[in-house]
Amino acid sequence: MSLLFQLAAIDLKSYFRNSFALFFTFLFPVLLLVLLMLAFGSNNGGASIINIKIAGDNPRATKYMTDMQHVLKHSNMLVFDIQKFDENADNKRQGVVVTIPTDEAKKISILVEKNAPLSIYNSIYPLMLVNSLQEIDYKKWDFVLNIPVKSNAVIGEGFKYGQYLIPGLIGMILISTSLFGFCTFLVEQRAKGAFKAYHLYPMQKWKFIAAFVSTRFVILVVFSLLFLFVADLVYGMGAVVDLLLIGKLLVLISLGALTFLSLALLISARIMAVGMVTGIANLLFYPATFASDLYIPQGGFPEFVKTIANLFPLGPFAEAMRNIVYKSATLADISYTLGLMSIWTIICFAASLTLFKWTRD
């Protein structure tokens, strides 16, 4: 047992000397929280209504409006009121006017109120996606003073944006620390030959793995809880903190940490090149965090993408945490997530014990 503590202490010292790992564990989620709350935090349970008028009496304009309605209906953060432009209507209610000329050689013009808040300008990007093959002439409309009003539409089953974001960022903390603070570290040490002594000792693989996983595990659980409670307090998201909630969070976060650490361990089990493992980590991290609805609700994915995302534990973990913290869900309510993470953890740890390699030889 003393050997395990010694190895854990050595790893802990190495971890806090690794600026790259420290950045992805502590600083990166805090920066994302501040930036995303500045951009979208004004949405506290209601989605902004964006009035969009389509100008143009031609088949091209009709098709454009139909395509826009199909794509933008998936938005959970904004409600798009898409109608045909009426020249006799009060201009103060127009908001955004999209003019579709009959001649395809002419540019589509999107006119937006000049002093619109950030959410209005964000709504332009989906419009561009609908007509990505056209060149869009974007101008500020300086004589419309419409300010979007709140509707009854909500983000993700009634969550405020902060309630949606904070648990998502905890999921990001778990996977980013596992991939960039643990996975890459193991490969770096193997490449340097630091594991040769353990191989010659000899040391059982499970003891080595247990020692190195335990340090990251403790860091992840402690920091995740602190991040959740401090962020909730700073932004006033209204979590009711009691012993029952802390107990449920300890179960969920602990299992989540083990799941992503075991995945990172499996990825690094035999890789010898730091560049290769960094590439694999990036290839997994960015698509996974984007498809798992951690930062901004995404409703327009194809069904097969949603199915894959639901089988990967990141998205279900974030959703389970939202329900536990802000909807008083029980552990039984999140049994699918707990079961899914348990399966991933068992498979990844078992495979890692078999595949883990000490050295290049």
- Return the pLDDT at 166: 94
Q: Hey, what are 144's tokens?
A: 């419309």
- Return the pLDDT at 147: 33
- Return the pLDDT at 11: 75
- Tokens 């056209």 appear where? 134
Q: How far apart are CA 332 and CA 232, in angstroms?
A: 24
- Tokens 């602990």 appear where? 254
- Return the pLDDT at 148: 37
User: How far apart, in Å, are the Cα atoms of 88 and each of 59, 101, 109, 347?
Assistant: 22, 20, 20, 65
In this structure, the number of other CB atoms found within 10 A of the CB of residue 136 comes to 14
- Return the pLDDT at 153: 33
Q: Please answer whether residues 85 and 54 qualify as being in contact, where contact means their C-beta atoms are separated by less than 8 angstroms.
A: yes
Residues of the chain with CATH 3.40.50: 48-141
- Return the pLDDT at 112: 64
Q: How do residues 269-321 score in pLDDT, each as one tens digit? A: 989 888 899 999 999 999 999 888 888 765 556 778 888 889 999 999 999 99
- Return the pLDDT at 24: 81
Which CATH architecture describes the domain 48-141? 3-Layer(aba) Sandwich (3.40)
Compute the half-sphere exposure of residue 265: CA atoms within 13 Å on the CB side of its CA.
31
pLDDT along the chain (361 residues), means of 10: 72 80 86 83 57 77 75 59 69 64 72 55 52 49 37 52 92 94 87 77 81 91 96 91 96 97 94 91 92 74 80 95 94 96 96 86 59
